[in-house]
Amino acid sequence: KTAVRVQNGKQLPYYTREQIDQEGKLRGNGCEIVFLKDPFDCYLLHIQGSGKIRLPDGRLIAVRFAGSNYRPYRSLGEEMIRDGLLDRHQASMDTIREYFALHPDKLQSYLNRNERYTFFTIDSRAVSGSLGVPLTPMRSIATDRQIFPAGALSYIVTTVPSPAAAARAAAAPWSGVVLDQDEGGAITGANRVDIFWGSGAEAEYMASRMKH
């Protein structure tokens, strides 16, 4: 997939993350839904493709994927590992967040390395994948649609992070029947499958530590 913009009758590549967030190329067009106070949380929402946002008055709004600039995707964690900021075996969403909490001045330059940008729309319906059907925690997966057929019934044998407080560093065997109901810019190749864990603190814990 590609996205273009038209300027003086010519089709040009769509704006990058840096052009949108730092140079304000879309500013003044009324495209904004909300502004998030934490740029790292905002980036995670872009990676996940959907989520719930709590407003200052306590209300929750749900947003889902509405489009992308379809620019090249680069993993934040992989970039940090390549630069020697993180050890591959210790890299997780927690360690990435901790690093940028200590070095906030470096965050934006790393975010800009990933040119891929996600656009959202407000949607109160259940979280859905690229097939437009609601996703089910631990039963919906995302794969590379260039390789795996959409909606395919699949069986997974893997290990998952243990949710038990006494075994936070442990992994537990898990297997089950799943449906291929989603896709994503970072999910490429025959050896990549993402499991949908749902929402909430427990789902975030599982998703950020799943590496098998």
User: Given a cut of 60, is residue 166 above it in pLDDT?
Assistant: no
Question: 208 or 54: which carries more pLDDT confidence?
Answer: 54
Query: What's the distance, Cα to Cα, between the start and end of the chain in Å?
Result: 29
Beta strands in 14-164 (DSSP E): 50-54, 60-68, 118-122, 140-142, 153-161
Model pTM greater than 0.85? no
pLDDT value for 164: 60
Please give the share of the chain, as a percent, with pLDDT higher than 90: 62
Average pLDDT of span 57-83:
92
| Sign of the alpha-carbon torsion through 61, 65, 68, 73 | positive
- Encoded tokens for 143: 């794969």
User: Region 99-111: what's the mean pLDDT?
Assistant: 95
DSSP 106: G
In degrees and rounded to multiples of 5, residue 98 shows phi and psi of -60, -40
Band of pLDDT at residue 32, cut at 50, 70 and 90: very high
Q: What's the CA dihedral at 56, 57, 61, 66 to 10 degrees?
A: -40
Phi, psi of 158 (to 5 degrees): -155, -170
pLDDT at position 23:
96
For residues 120-148, average pLDDT = 87
CB-count exposure of residue 100 (10 Å: 0-12, 13-18, 19+): buried
CA-based nearest residue to 43, from 115, 103, 105: 115
